[in-house]
Structure 1
Amino acid sequence: MLRAVVAGRAQISCSREPDLFIDGVPCCDQYLAHTLAHDGFIEPAYQGTVGTRVPATLTDAGEAALAPTTAAA
C-alpha cells in the first residue's frame, strides 16, 4: 500500500475513518489502511471536504518505513 502511495496511485477519503483507494479501487484491507492513517504513515495530500477523495501521501514515518535497511555484518 505504501508503494502505491509513493507511485501516486492512491487516494484517501477525507473522513474520521479514511479509506484508501488504489487505481480507483477500494483496498481489500481497509483495516490496514485505517491503521496506516491513524498511526501516521499516510495522510491526505491536502484537506478536502468530508467524504471526498484526495491524493494520499506518505508522512516522514511512512518514508522511513520504506527506507532500505542495512543488515548488520
Structure 2
Amino acid sequence: MSSEPHELSHRALAMLRAVAAGRAQISCGREPDLYIDGMPCCDQFSAHVLTHDGFIAAGDGPFGQLVPAVLTSAGVAALESVAVAA
C-alpha cells in the first residue's frame, strides 16, 4: 500500500462502485488488470493505483487467473466519504 494515496477521480470511484456491486474481476499478479462486466477496464493505470493504494484486492489464485475483485476497508471508506459529502 502506498503511503500517500492518490486523490480518487470520478472514474476511480465508478470502478470502486463496480467492485462493490460484485461486477468486477481482477487478475492475480503484481500489476493486476481489472475487468468489469467481463470486459477489460479502459483505465488499467487507475486499476493498478486502486490496488497498490489498497482500495481493491484480488482473492487467491494462480498468477494471471481472474478472480473476483474485493473492496477493502479503505475502498468502503472512500465510497462512504463520497456518499456523506454528497
* TM value normalised by structure 2: 0.78
1:2 maps to which residue? 16
Could you list the structure 1 runs, at least 4 aligned residues long, displaced by more than 3 angstroms after superposition.
Answer: none
The yes-or-no answer on 1:17 pairing with 2:39 is: no
Unaligned runs of 5+ in 1: none
Identity of aligned residues (%): 67
Q: What is the Cα-based RMSD across aligned positions, in Å?
A: 1.2
The yes-or-no answer on 1:61 pairing with 2:79 is: no
- The structure with the largest alpha-carbon Rg is 1
Counterpart amino acid of residue 54 in structure 2: G
**Aligned to 2:84, what secondary structure does the other structure show?**
coil
Deviations 1:31-73, CA, capped at 9 Å, x for gaps: 00000000000001x21000100000110000000002248xx
Residue-pair matches, total: 70
Unaligned runs of 5+ in 2: 1-14
Going by fraction, where is helix more abundant, 1 or 2?
2
